[in-house]
Amino acid sequence: MDSDYSDTESVNSTISESMQTTDLFEYIDLGKDKIAYKKDKNCIICQAKFGKVGIVHARKHYCKFCYRGVCAKCSPQVAVHPVERKKLRVCNNCCQKAVINKYTEQFRMDIDHVKLQQDSVNEEIQKILSERAKIKEDTENLENLIESEQAKELTYIQLKKSNHELEKKLESKKVQNEKLMKEHKLKKTELDSQDKNYQKLVAVIENLKETIKSCKEECVKLNNELAEKQDEKISIKKQIEERIAKISENQKSKEDFNKIEKVKAELNGLQIQVEKEMTEKNGMIKEISELRDENDALSFKLKVAKEKVVNEDDKLVAGTSHEYSAEEEEKFNDLKNRRKDNQAKLENLKIELKKTEPKAIDPLDYEMTAADKPRPCARCIIS
């Protein structure tokens, strides 16, 4: 209560001080009729009747601002008149209106100022919220960027590690490639050498084929000659039989008989020699056939060797490595040696065949015994 009373006194004191200045009543609405108080019989504020006997404050006064009749109790204050610029009586209503106008305007201005400040604060708040949202968005973007950079850094580390491993593998591949290139050069040199040897073997085989062909032709020729000689032998035997028949009919002397026996013995020896020559001829024919089969086998082996050389060349081109064994080299050398031996054998056979050609026989120098039997010709033996 004491506090409220002191506050009221402070306000009243402030109002009294303000009434002594011109700014409190400067904008007050003045009364339009300056003689309106003359019509008033009672105080317009407390409704006390003017001129009542025994009441001090019943004297009639009027407010110099609203020009209405008031008692002394309701007009205890004076204020500076805004027009006359003098301190004149003012009623409580005008004081209240002036105070209300003054402080209402002030309050309105203060309220407007507060509203402006509030709007400004709201704008600042909105700006701060916008900035905060932007900062939050920037922070999220920055966090995302940091995460992205961290992921990129992790990816970079992984790629760097993978790149290092790839470099090691590439270096290893380079060393391996150089090694393979060296092996390829060596194998190519070996293949060139083997190809030359193969070409030589092919040439040797061609020569062997020509030799075998000539031997076959020679064998056919010898077989034909042998058949002719066999026919001659049969003819001679017939002539001898005819001669023996003539000798038997004539019954010549003992000397002729001894001569016949001698001829028989020589004929038997000749027959044994012919059979021996036929056996040797059959052996030579068999050996020629075996040489022919062996040469065919050599041709097949050389063909297989050629295919193997081609396959090895393909392997070298594909980048694979292969080691030739000593056994394979020995096979090539063995083929060469066997070719030389076969060629020498064929030459010897040709010489032997020429040596075993039967000589011409005089049919009158021999006679056939009755024990001789007919034999097949050379063509039948060969076939």
What is the structure's pLDDT at 370? 42
Residue that has been written with the tokens 């075993």 in this structure: 356
What is the structure's pLDDT at 247? 67
The radius of gyration of the chain from alpha carbons, rounded to an integer in Å, stands at: 79
What is the structure's pLDDT at 57? 61
Is 127 a residue whose pLDDT tops 50?
yes
Q: Which residues pair with 89 in a beta bridge?
A: 78
User: Which of 40-49, 320-329, 368-377 is least confident?
Assistant: 368-377
What is the secondary structure of 226-277 as a DSSP string? HHHHHHHHHHHHHHHHHHHHHHHHHT--HHHHHHHHHHHHHHHHHHHHHHHH
Is 75 a residue whose pLDDT tops 80?
yes
Q: Which residues pair with 77 in a beta bridge?
A: 90
Phi (first) and psi of residue 71, to 5 degrees: -85, 170
Distance CA 57, CA 50 (A): 8
Average pLDDT over residues 349-365: 58
Q: Which CATH class is domain 2-90?
A: alpha beta
Q: Region of 251 please: left (phi>0), alpha (psi -120 to 50) or beta.
A: left
Q: How far is CA 202 from the centre of its chain?
A: 47
Distance CA 235, CA 52 (A): 214
What is the structure's pLDDT at 10? 46
What is the structure's pLDDT at 197? 81
Structure-model confidence comparison of residues 149 and 290, the more confident one: 149
Tens digits of residue pLDDT in 85-116: 888 888 998 888 888 877 777 788 888 888 88
Tens digits of residue pLDDT in 315-349: 554 544 445 566 767 776 777 777 777 777 777 77
What is the structure's pLDDT at 352? 73
What is the structure's pLDDT at 63? 92
Quote the mean pLDDT of the chain. Answer: 75
Structure-model confidence comparison of residues 82 and 305, the more confident one: 82
Average pLDDT over residues 177-203: 83
pLDDT confidence tier of residue 16, bands split at 50, 70 and 90: low
Tens digits of residue pLDDT in 201-248: 888 888 888 888 887 787 788 778 778 878 888 888 888 878 777 766
What is the structure's pLDDT at 5? 37
Average pLDDT over residues 294-300: 72
CA dihedral in degrees (31, 34, 37, 43; nearest 10)?
A: 30
Nearest-10 crossing angle of helices 2-19, 92-250:
110
75, with CB counted inside 10 A (0-12, 13-18, 19+), is buried
DSSP character for 290? H
- Asked whether the beta carbons of 86 and 80 are under 8 A apart, the reply is yes
Tens digits of residue pLDDT in 236-280: 888 887 877 776 666 655 666 677 677 778 777 777 877 777 777
Is 64 a residue whose pLDDT tops 60?
yes
Domain ranges of the chain: 2-90, 185-382
